A and B are shown apart, each in its own frame.
Chain A
Amino acid sequence: MNNGNQAETLRAVRAAVIALVATLFTGAVSGETILLNGATVHTATGDTLSPGDVLLRDGKIAAVDKTIAAEGATRVELKGEHLYPGLILLDTALGLTEIEAVRATADAAEVGEFTPDVESWVSVNPDSELIPVARANGIAYFEPVPEGGIVSGQSALVTVDGWTTEKMTTKTGVALHLIWPAMELETAPRGRARSRTKPKSVEEQAKDRRAKVQSTIEFFEEAKAYAKAKDAAANGKATPPERVPAWEAMLPYVHGERPIVVHANEIRQIKAVVAWGTTNNLKMIIAGGRDAWMIAGLLAARQIPVIYEHTYTQPNRDFEPYDVHFKAAEVLHQAGVKVVFSMGPRPFDAGLSRNLPYSAAQAVAFGLPESEALKGLTLYPAQLAGVADRLGSIDAGKEATLFATDGDILDNRTQVKRLWLAGREISLESRHTRLYEKYRSRPK
């Protein structure tokens, strides 16, 4: 064997190895037909099939039934396991933050009070180590949210695997984010004020608060006026206004075409938001929603959903029952409010995204029906993001994004075994599993 032949053989072997590795890495390719056989199928919309079959074809769910005869399909035996639609995490800093204390890695909060033309999805780091950690517990999509100021910018729905931000971004302009000004006043004596800056009197604080709320309301009034001027110009009734990027960004939101997610926790904030949003015919979603249960009936009547982020928040007032936030989701649900669960947009919680199902779990322990909890992790967030036609449940025609577990996804002990994104199996490996394997094999 001469050297040339040897080199050729090596090249062939290397090519074969690369092909093999590529297959292992990407798993099943989208074009393949796969039958997921015999798992308990939690569809999130209809009945749970126990057991059931799910047929995946061309990256979509082709069929869901008790049994499916699918000749030629690659069979994946999932007997004893559970299948869930991919979880959707709304209102998060995931992708925008890596290490909270390292400023160079922080891209979640921008300066400026009104920046509707800030777009979160352009800054998602596809190689963030936090993303594989989140997907290892079934999170398939997330909504990176810009923070900072009052109107902080717009969010998108992003998937947990992809080569670039463009490939990962499923839907841009999912919502505009409005961080409602704090309504609480510092009532402690000035000498003991929490704030390190010069403490203000209650009256001064109230004045500031009024000004902030007023500026928020006026910002939207101006955005509406701009939209009106554009419409008039379009009908040939006026000359078009000078193009302003911020006002352009506001158009679909003041027209009520896309939702405004208002971040509000305290009851006075939430009441103010409801009154203001209703008057202005805005499509509203409350995020945070700590005290939302107090006006559950009103929220239901106005059809305002709540992204509830406080299952695991201690009572805020001494006279509240210890389980006030454990029960809040059920209070809202009973009244007819759509409840979505989230960890919230704090950078600290981006790393804990994988714990999303446990917020819902605690609500179940305190009364929320389990089917509602699951919807609040899958179908409802898909609806709020405007993608329920293709995501959020295991139904024929939807994207084949689902995962298999060895138990109830709400239980802390449950292991996620496999995950498919649009029919493609994704590795559950992460920085955590790699370090685990490395140090588990450290010689004693």
Chain B
Amino acid sequence: MVRIRDVVNSETENLYEQLAGGLTAANLLHGSANPIGGQNCVIKLRDGASPEELVFDAAPPGIKFALGENVKQSNWGEKFVTRFPQTRMGVRTFIANRFTAAQEYLAEWEAYRKKSALPPRRDLELDALGEILQGKRWIHCHSYRQDEILMLIRLMESFGVKIATFQHVLEGYKVADEIARHGAGASTFSDWWAYKFEVYDAIPYNGSLMAERGVVVSFNSDSSELARHLYTEAAKAVKYGGTPEVEALKFVTLNPAKQLRIDSRVGSLEQGKDADFAIWSKSPLDFETVCLQTWIDGKKYFDRALSQERAARREKERSELVAKAKRVAKVSSGGESAGEADSGTESFFNVSLEHQYDGNARGCLDEELLGVDRIGGAR
């Protein structure tokens, strides 16, 4: 069983970029390739702290579930047609079977505790599902279509389980009453649609419609870019469906805190809560607003007034490192050009692992470092 907590990268520049958009906490979920996914991790963006210190320990444990096209491998290519489940029917069956297994697993442990049986073999997946059955771990489920949302609600109700949130939940507006009655939260995109067939009916009024029917709604990002400006996303709830501004602001503050069961600590400015807040030049819903400062636990983590100086410092550090690397490369290649990159220089220019898999091409600016001539000029 995957645990996001084990792979939190505290070194990423992302933390600072998010802070610069007023973000103080985040629910980290992995992708949506499997109906029953791995364990989530809620962090506070304490930039500079160790991975363990980023974890927001007031958040109860959670787990990522997923439904629909991704788990049935609809867009994976022609080779991916044999893994169960391949349909939304199968997704229900799969999840139901694993929960039945978890019930049996819990019963085996219970029997062992009563000393009437041998200890069962420890199973990390069933441990986690058992915690869900016991109300100790909360489901955050990636979902799009109304039928699959309703399916999971009914299936979980049959096991006595309450779902914490539906993620994305782009057809949530079609079954808002059912979501509200179950008591799940809805963490949706403000306006994404049409990238897959299952989001062809996604509408930007989704958040407003669900909120009107009593669902606790938040806007999520699914993207480290979008997470930098959740405030502009919240403003779209005002545009589409006329959510009152204060309620729209809750979509990115108090409501996600409620969904994560951390609202006694964060999500609003109230006496006794953690001092996590951002200072803006104008209303965060105004297009001209700029985040000026971001504070967590009463400590300032971002200050726009100091950001230029910080950038200059980093640029200086970089140029010094590049100069050093050039010297090293020259020495290690026997004074020849740096073109014959040995293993030392190759690993020096290595991009971080995080960047290697994020889909962005990155390279150093100085092409001559690699012994490659300038290209494309006038002939």
Contact = CB atoms under 8 A, between A and B. Distances in A.
Interface of A: 98-102, 129-130, 182-189, 192, 194, 202-203, 206, 209-210, 213, 217, 266-268, 271-273, 275-276, 278-279, 312-323, 347-348, 350-352, 354-355, 358, 361-362, 364-366, 408, 410-415, 431-432, 435-436, 439-440, 442, 444
B314 A322 contact: no
A292 to B, nearest CB: 14
Contacts of B196: 99-102
B229 A312 contact: yes
B223 to A, nearest CB: 9
Contacts of A322: 16-17, 20, 307, 311
Interface stretch (B32-40, B58-66, B325-333, B363-371): B363-371
Contact of B239 (A185, A209, A414): A414
A217 B378 CA distance: 10
B350 interface: yes
Interface residues of B, number: 76
Given A187-B349, A272-B377, A312-B229, 8 more contacts: A98-B194, A101-B197, A209-B372, A268-B367, A268-B375, A348-B195, A412-B285, A436-B240
Nearest to B360: A316
Interface in B148-191: 173-174, 176-177, 191
A101 B13 contact: no
Contacts of B69: 101
B209 A439 contact: yes
B259 to A, nearest CB: 22
A352 B20 contact: no
A279 B239 contact: no
Interface in B257-300: 285-290
A129 B202 CA distance: 12
A436 B209 contact: yes
B287 A194 contact: no
Interface of B: 13-14, 16-17, 20, 69, 74-75, 173-174, 176-177, 191-197, 200-201, 203-205, 209, 213, 224-225, 228-229, 232, 235-236, 238-241, 245, 285-290, 307-308, 310-311, 314-315, 317-318, 339, 341, 346-347, 349-351, 353, 356-357, 360-365, 367, 370, 372, 375-379
Given A313-B225, A351-B192, A184 B173 contact: no
Contact of B200 (A99, A194, A273, A314): A99
Contacts of B17: 314-315, 322
Nearest to A360: B287
B362 A316 contact: yes
Contacts, number: 190
B356 A99 contact: no
A214 to B, nearest CB: 9
28 contacts: A99-B194, A99-B197, A100-B196, A129-B194, A186-B363, A187-B370, A189-B346, A209-B372, A213-B376, A271-B376, A312-B225, A314-B14, A314-B224, A316-B362, A318-B318, A322-B20, A323-B20, A352-B191, A362-B232, A364-B287, A366-B290, A408-B287, A411-B287, A413-B245, A414-B239, A432-B205, A435-B205, A440-B209
Contacts of B228: 314
A129 B211 CA distance: 26
Chain A to chain B: the 6 pairs with minimum beta-carbon distance, closest first: A272-B376, A412-B235, A351-B194, A321-B311, A184-B363, A279-B378
Contacts of A444: 177, 213
B219 to A, nearest CB: 12
B67 to A, nearest CB: 16
B100 to A, nearest CB: 33
Contact of B197 (A102, A202, A320, A352): A102
A275 B377 CA distance: 5
Contacts of A348: 195
Nearest to B281: A365
Nearest to B313: A319
B5 to A, nearest CB: 24
A54 B13 CA distance: 50
A182 B363 CA distance: 11
Contacts of B289: 365
Contacts of A183: 363, 367, 375-376
A202 B20 CA distance: 36
Contacts of A188: 350-351, 356
A435 B193 CA distance: 13
A38 B69 CA distance: 50
Contacts of B14: 314
Nearest to B212: A440
A51 B97 CA distance: 67
B379 A217 contact: yes
A362 B287 CA distance: 7
Contacts of A184: 361-363
Nearest to B205: A436
Contacts of B176: 439
A429 to B, nearest CB: 13
